[in-house]
Structure 1
Amino acid sequence: MLMQIKRKKKKRGTTTTISRTRMKKEEIVVAAIVVILVVVVIVAVLVVVEVIVVVVVVVVVVVVVVVVVVVVVVVVVVNSSSSRNTKPTFFHLLTEPFLSLLHLLVHYKLPVPRDLDYVANACFFLVETFTIYWHLHGSALEYRVHVLSLVAIVMGFVAVVAEVKAKHHMTMPILRGTVFMLKGTWLVQVGIVLYNPLGLGWDQTEVTYVNLAGIHFLWHLLTNLAVAMTTSTITALAFRQVIDKGKNSGETQRPLSFHG
């Protein structure tokens, strides 16, 4: 009787392991299919609108796809050794290509509703707010990093809505770029803190690490602000040179905007 019970337990454990492996494989396949479809649509749009930039875009898209596949594999490997779910991670991975596609449609002035990219970004931030809100549980450190994620998301929503009202104000793109980079870099930081892939030893209950998370968030904010300001300054100087050359040659330059 004891041998039969042990055999039944082994069979159940084997069946559970096989089902989990199948679920992971299905998640990878679904993510890969969605990414490939997004890539095909982007390339098709660019072929129709402007064939010259197809080669450059294809190279960029290939790099993005490789990065996404690597991240998916890493997430699945990490999930295999923990009880965490990878579905929220796939939400983050698959939303960015969709938003990028909308930006391309608006940039190349295809027949889409006005300010569609802003509306899509605002909706994305609202959905992500609820996604992060449902993660407000667990240890003190886990709660703190997710609260800081909510701060970054709310800042992003405010930045997008504010830019709709003041599209041609130079401060708005800097603010939006800073918040978008902050959201991305802090998401990486949250993964490092919770999953500990580098073996840094973040103690989930130690008060010192809880306070350290807030300091790291401020460093992320300052660093991303410096990057956004540096990039905008270099772009403004280069654009000024183009304007000066146009004035000297008698040519007129049309003003640039966020939508090109």
Structure 2
Amino acid sequence: MQGKTRCPYCNKNVVVEVPDGATGIQKTKCPNCGLTIKVDVTEKEESIETPIHPLVRQKPSPKPLIAGALLIIVFLLGVAMGTFMLISENEALRGTGMYEGMVIDSEKEPLQDVTIYLVDDGMKKVAETDEKGYFIISNLSAGKHRIILKKEGYVTKNVTIGVFPFKSFIKERFTLQKGNGTENKKALSAWFFDILPIFASAIIILSIPPLIGSIFCFMRKYEIVAIIGAIFGIFSMGFFIGTVLSIIALILILLSREEFRA
């Protein structure tokens, strides 16, 4: 019986002869240098592969289906939030409310006796600031209005404001600089009415990729599309639970990537 080994004396790979049927440590001669060497003769068992019948398939896991269901929930949450914000905008334009503000100078000191004019239809005096610089305008219809802040010796400020049909939880602050002329400004409350429909529409649009990802999860095809859909769900601006569900869906997709087909 022959076998290959490396001679420790001449450091050559050689073919040596050992008795047939021998096992364990055996002595033999190196055919290259002629010295006696020891070799370990072991019998290796051949691995036997169990054949799988072509009709027998591995049972798919439910992970992609669960991920798809979670992404559909994320989509529905995003659409619900965006729709709610659009409806809220319509509700915010109904009824009447009051507007509160404060006027200060360039040194952050409150300005007293600043005259406030409402200029939606003509020019009408509606308020004056008190000793602390505060003013209140009552019985304004909800929505955007334009007011003028005017005081002798200061630059007149023409401001677009937003009024809500409930008591405001903030008092917007305006600064008048000494001098002449007029300065235009849009208050934060007015910006709210401008960006609310855009923000709501963006939430609805960003909810579409999770829906697409869920479809590919159910089809078990193109895992990259499903992964992108889950990532959009994570960074979407919907409810916080939508982010959590998207993270879970992404983990399930990554754990079952081998089940997706190209």
Q: Tell me the TM-score range normalised by the shorter chain.
A: under 0.3
* Higher-Rg member (1/2): 2
TM-score (norm 1): 0.26
- Point out the structure with the larger helix share: 1
TM-score, L = length of structure 2: 0.25
Q: Kindly indicate whether structure 1 or structure 2 has the higher relative contact order, using CA contacts under 8 Å at least 6 residues apart.
A: 2
